[in-house]
Amino acid sequence: MNQFEKNETDLEGGKLLKDGDKATRGNKVVKSQNQALLAGLAYCISSCSMILVNKFVLSSYNFDAGISLMLYQNLVSVIIVSVLSFLGIISTEPLTWRLVKVWLPVNVIFVGMLITSMFSLKYINVAMVTVLKNVTNVITAIGEMYLFQKHHDSRVWAALFLMIISAISGGVTDLSFHAVGYAWQIINCFLTASYSLTLRRVMDTAKLVTKSGKLNEFSMVLLNNTLSLPLGIVLIFVFREVDYLFTTLVGSLNKIPLSVAGILLFKVPTSLENSASIFFGLVAGVFFARAKMRERSQS
């Protein structure tokens, strides 16, 4: 083989290697996208199921112990994450006293966020809760400006404006409007935004007091739900839910069907204007998500 043929062979070999690398990278990208899609789908199913079941328990059964319901769900979360960690399927950070002290302010807001969500869900239909939660994005965006000097582009502000319009028009046209429910939901929006902003401030400090130097999602779930248990127990005594639980037929809750669907399930009175406001709010939410993604990619 002469030098020319050798160079030709080397070039062809190098091209094949590059093509192979591109194919490998392509497969990894596709696999990552599939995993992200599957994770997103699982999150949507679990989140929607949780909201619908909570709504059914609190409204259809007139269950007046929302804090106890939250406490039960948090206990189940702690058990599941602890078992998965014990089996080595996931890794979690040990709960040290230093970490607990740093995380406690975040957890207090977390508990308040869950409780106000329960209280609002008892009085407001699921669709309107979804639309009103968009107000959280508005509060968070304003908080980011003042606390972190973050500037948002025009697309983000346009989406936030659409969210405000949809929330106002939805509330005005809501045939099942309940002032108490809306008050709790507004408080929930402020607490949810506060949780997000406080989390950003505390996260770096929390990482410094961990043994591994990092705090993954499973550790945060375990931390939040574990710390919420003693606080939840105190609150069920403060709100006298213990007496209520002893006098209720809690066993009847086992008959709750899981295959439910929002407005049809609860026979919520609605109108064309209110339905249009809800749809408008959902579209605004999608527009906001796209604007935030574009903003992150540009930065």
At 122-159, the pLDDT tens digits run 888 877 787 788 888 889 888 888 888 888 888 878 88
pLDDT attached to residue 260: 40
Residue 261 pLDDT level (bands cut at 50, 70, 90): very low
Domain assignment of residue 169, yes or no? yes
Domain assignment of residue 33, yes or no? no
Sign of the CA dihedral running 69, 70, 76, 80: positive
Domain assignment of residue 172, yes or no? yes
Q: d(Cα 189, Cα 228) in Å, to the nearest integer?
A: 19
pLDDT attached to residue 294: 62
Higher pLDDT, 137 or 32: 137
Higher pLDDT, 183 or 293: 183
Domain assignment of residue 50, yes or no? no
Domain assignment of residue 57, yes or no? no
Query: Mind listing the pLDDT tens digit for each residue in 43-69?
Result: 667 777 777 778 777 876 677 888 888
pTM over 0.85: no
pLDDT attached to residue 187: 94
Q: Count structural domains, the chain.
A: 1
Domain assignment of residue 53, yes or no? no
Alpha helices for the chain (secondary structure H): 3-55, 66-86, 97-123, 126-132, 135-148, 154-172, 179-208, 217-238, 241-246, 262-266, 272-298
Q: d(Cα 66, Cα 60) in Å, to the nearest integer?
A: 13
Lowest mean pLDDT among 195-204, 211-220, 243-252: 243-252
Averaged pLDDT for residues 244-251:
66
Lowest mean pLDDT among 143-152, 166-175, 281-290: 281-290
Owning domain of residue 80: 63-246+262-298
User: Would you say 207 and 220 are in contact if contact means Cβ atoms under 8 Å apart?
Assistant: no
pLDDT attached to residue 297: 60
Domain assignment of residue 223, yes or no? yes
Domain assignment of residue 176, yes or no? yes
Averaged pLDDT for residues 252-266:
43
CA geometry: angle at 82 spanning 77 and 64, to 5°?
25
